[in-house]
Chain A
């Protein structure tokens, strides 16, 4: 009998994922699909709006990483106002934006690790759901929970000082930034009362990496084999191959580390990347045009970034990077759960970058904005916490946005998340007729490794309300479980 199992999170928040697992007569998994049922339509509602509104308007796509959208849109508009990309901005404009971005990276990675992932690691994937959440972590490991909260707070304060507000600020404007950092803000970030100062943040970030390495050494089988599959990897890298989360050229490598996209200018992304529409998901499936739909899909995010870059330009993170790379003999890392390791190395790198930037005098003085000859079209890319984010705008002669195209990180990871779900379903569900809490959570854990935006709606308290429906080939419900 052919069966279909549906894992559907029933959340109070709109926009969530639903997983369907198709089982054939022999109990084998024939197919699994992650359906993204959210549809936000931002590309349409910005049409007709004045172009300078885009960074403020479009960031409302997300309450978790609005800064990424804010900056990607601003970068696209830099091109439109004739400021160019990257070094076209004034030093103040560029560095204030970088500070904003690394602050965002720091808080987002901290949130993801401490709030969303640590419960799974500390209590086990099939641990008691009643305690496998951030409240459980706070009770059993209070120091760790406090660290998570404080690191997030520190990053949020950086965002506020650069963007004006912790969420949905206005700092980045076409061609630059609208404010300097004040002496007071700088002092508080460098020498703030314990623990809210940069030295503490760096040392806590280092502790987090150590925590994960320790966990890894005790749980090698799980971390190395859970949802592991080969893929291509794509991200921005600095021109010299360094990890750069704010700006760079577009590079992709295959699962063996061969370069398949050679450090190209992202203004031309349409020459290299295409998107496939499938009728069962609102979310498109991007792929590298040259390699086609089947072979051309890629992963983005921390795992991909540490696979594409050659080195990390800050000392502590570089040291960790070397150890991380050595684990796979310098080859690309294709283990989904190593995403957490990579993410924490980036957390450390972000803290080091924040320190470097805070000590830069350009943040406190200098011209804020540059402009040049107006262009009709511009593309802005940034490495958001969850991966490469594309914003593309075209304007008409009256300064109105005529066309917008966004490829968000979660969309870039659409195929990989489906692959991860498929691998896990095959591992834990093949030949099973009963679904356990552990199985349901295993699927969730695989998705969560990619930190998709929908995670905010589903695991904030570790209690992802799930409905699991078992359907036979004639669509009769033969079993139903809810938690």
Chain B
């Protein structure tokens, strides 16, 4: 049998298998640590930092950390919550996010985090940077106005022979997501749908299906992001 280890999150006694990723271990114990760039099952990138927690008194990204025996983790403290709120606000002002008309509204993780951390009016100035859309693929409409450069698409979407369909072009401020149209066109409709769901925001839209989920039945219409984890009985 694999080795079980003990740790605490905000004082709550938790257990997990040795070597488990902290985000996953927390989930097993009914604790929600927010993620945005991370996706269970793919190699963590640790780029968005929304999953910041304090481990033994030091800030660390949960998605890139495996739990060790005896770890003392702080997850919900005013300081950490404020930090997460700042990250969400920064993402909002650096893109052009017009939630009211976006078809991902209600299913969007960024929007859901905005609600969770009670972002009212962002305290930072909007950048209103002009971003190009790419509509040339048969399968997808890529709206870079909404991209948060989480690179989930780059890391997880591969063609049958293992080639990346999405890639980052440029660096830093200039970085954008590019799509290989030829490879993308080979995806089936179901696969394309999965790709759309991989994107946490409304940047990758599958063509010819918009607003199919009625208001009231979208993912975050009835419960805030994370609450599905927090209500698990452990």
Q: Which residues of A contact B (CB under 8 A)?
A: 48, 50, 52-53, 55-57, 60, 81, 163-165, 168-171, 173-174, 178-179, 398-400
Query: Which residue of chain A has its CB nearest to the CB of B214?
Result: A179
Cα of A57 to Cα of B141 in the assembled complex, Å: 16
Main SS class of interface, A: loop
> Contacts A57-B101, A168-B100: A48 and B214 contacting too (C-beta < 8 A)?
no
Q: Which residues of B contact A399 (CB under 8 A)?
A: 135, 141, 207-208
Cα of A400 to Cα of B141 in the assembled complex, Å: 9
Tally B residues with Cβ within 8 Å of A: 19
Q: Which residues of B contact A50 (CB under 8 A)?
A: 135, 141, 205, 207, 210
Within 8 A of A (CB), among B210-234: 210-217
Q: Which residues of B contact A398 (CB under 8 A)?
A: 135-136
> Contacts A50-B135, A50-B141, A50-B205: A178 and B103 contacting too (C-beta < 8 A)?
no
Closest Cβ–Cβ distance, residue A369 to chain B (whole Å): 8
Please tell me if B163 contacts chain A, counting CB pairs below 8 Å. no
Query: Which residue of chain A has its CB nearest to the CB of B133?
Result: A48
Q: Which residues of B contact A171 (CB under 8 A)?
A: 214
21 residue pairs of the A-B complex, CB under 8 angstroms, read A48-B133, A48-B135, A50-B210, A52-B210, A52-B211, A56-B100, A56-B101, A56-B103, A56-B211, A57-B101, A60-B101, A81-B208, A164-B214, A170-B215, A173-B210, A174-B210, A178-B211, A178-B213, A399-B207, A399-B208, A400-B133
Query: Which residue of chain A has its CB nearest to the CB of B101?
Result: A57
Contact B208 A173 (CB under 8 A): no
Cα of A169 to Cα of B215 in the assembled complex, Å: 7
Q: Which residues of A contact B217 (CB under 8 A)?
A: 179
Q: Which residues of B contact A81 (CB under 8 A)?
A: 208
Contact B215 A164 (CB under 8 A): yes
> Contacts A53-B101, A398-B136: A165 and B215 contacting too (C-beta < 8 A)?
yes
Cα of A398 to Cα of B135 in the assembled complex, Å: 6
Contact B100 A60 (CB under 8 A): yes
Q: Which residues of B contact A178 (CB under 8 A)?
A: 211-214
Q: Which residues of A contact B215 (CB under 8 A)?
A: 163-165, 169-170
- The 0/1 profile, CB within 8 Å of A marked 1, for residues 117-137 of chain B is 000000000000000010110
> Contacts A53-B101, A57-B101, A168-B100: A173 and B211 contacting too (C-beta < 8 A)?
yes
Query: Which residue of chain A has its CB nearest to the CB of B137?
Result: A398
Please tell me if B58 contacts chain A, counting CB pairs below 8 Å. no
Q: Which residues of A contact B141 (CB under 8 A)?
A: 50, 399
Please tell me if B209 contacts chain A, counting CB pairs below 8 Å. yes
Cα of A60 to Cα of B100 in the assembled complex, Å: 9
Partner of A400, one of B135, B210, B214: B135
Cα of A148 to Cα of B97 in the assembled complex, Å: 37
